[in-house]
Structure 1
């Protein structure tokens, strides 16, 4: 049982949330919740998958496009893979898109189109880990699960003045957050903590003067809030190199290849190219008069930087290898390419 101080914290945060909750297209706000409107588990799940490693600002338009085109999990499950991957282009972390389809189809086929309403059952679905299962359980079904993202970790580290660095301190921070999670309105509470971290208890220059938890916050009392949370220094990212080959057919069609389902940009269409390593082999995908373009494309992934040199050829006839994909000029949309491949196209077009 939580003590009175912990009850005061959750009540204060919910009171603040009722007045200051952020408006988001996937969120059922506190006023609607009070009026009996329930969150749509499909929209909660979709938003949580999109928001992994991605900002709210970046996700908003993608979410609106996807839910307009596929308003239910059954509609999403029935969509062709290439349409989903095309809509996802630019969001990054493309394994999420592949798991999105797997999960939508599992929910449709195995659960009659309804998301399970508890943490354990949600964990069994493709692409749903502990964080996403907790978020869906709490936000969509009001289960008292503890939702831990970077915002929540920062709030807990400061509220309890915890100086042990992340990621090693994650278990302690979750234990603290669990102790504060109420059994009443846990979904609203989970979103309240995240909103607090995103709008007031921000990484730099936290607005402690207007924080609803300013009085009991231990780091504010100690004057250490700006230094928290501490983080273990990251190792420098290595740089890899590669070659890509942009070929345009005589009729304006473009020559692409679909990357393997596993690995970076899995399942996405992109330009044929070399391996990405310290010393990539320059080997064109088929015989043609190739010329190297001036300049290079730079892109940063989670674990490494990438520098690509671009080769180009025009007026190719339709005798390209069968493993490549020829996309008609009227069907080719640069926006369907992942970001790094769109950068290649932009440089090629500029030349």
Structure 2
């Protein structure tokens, strides 16, 4: 999936990428609601047969990787499709196509990425679909710029440690993201590009809200979770069920470790569900996680020993920062800070 643009590229998104957008013919403003939405032209046929757009020649991928080296040894993700009248079909594959190119922004810069995307699209589409795609690309770039600013808003201290405050923050972010998409896209385009993502996000938030309710018994909570799951689209529901099963199996394997099982016993349990390569990967991940937790606990023990010296609050905070920097990599420090924030709210030392 795509990366969010870095702050240094926001100005480029406006001055560079969107300039390219405004130089192309305007997109036809309305789209028809459908599972795969078609952007109509002024002389659109009533027939809605969806056809794959003409494929780019083999050398097109070489041209992409020559311009965008970070995409070397990859294939273009997503797909551009047109209907029988040559109008662009809006679906998730189109968003994947945009995101494939935009994933190279950090490495190559937005101007270069947009040039490569347009060059590739020219080999796949003709008018009216080409102009419609470029119009939508401009909207998508504008949306990505705005969503980046939204996603980079930091959590307040309370939201980092209070589950209810975290849920409220997530619900607020979801509502604002929904408003943002409605502001940049038609209802049909929003559903085609983001509908599945929004459905699953809504399901996740509603599930978290149910988990926090203390007025429900376990049977009631399970029944209501099943009702939420039943509202998901079929493909999402099946995917969620597979994820839930996988989560339960991993939780069971972790319980085996806690109960004193050896690696061979855990391996045999995981092998009932997963292929050998996946079993080995899961065992490696669990081993790494156990090592990390032991490392964190050793850090907490050393921190407690140092803080017992009667240091001032400022000196204690400085010592804690120095200890984090000495014992953990920069990639791990955010996780350590989160654990420490939770530990500060606990009456007893945190057992991660």
TM bucket normalised to smaller: under 0.3
Larger Rg: 2
The alignment's TM-score, normalised by the length of structure 2, stands at 0.25
The alignment's TM-score, normalised by the length of structure 1, stands at 0.25
Structure with greater proportional helix content: 2
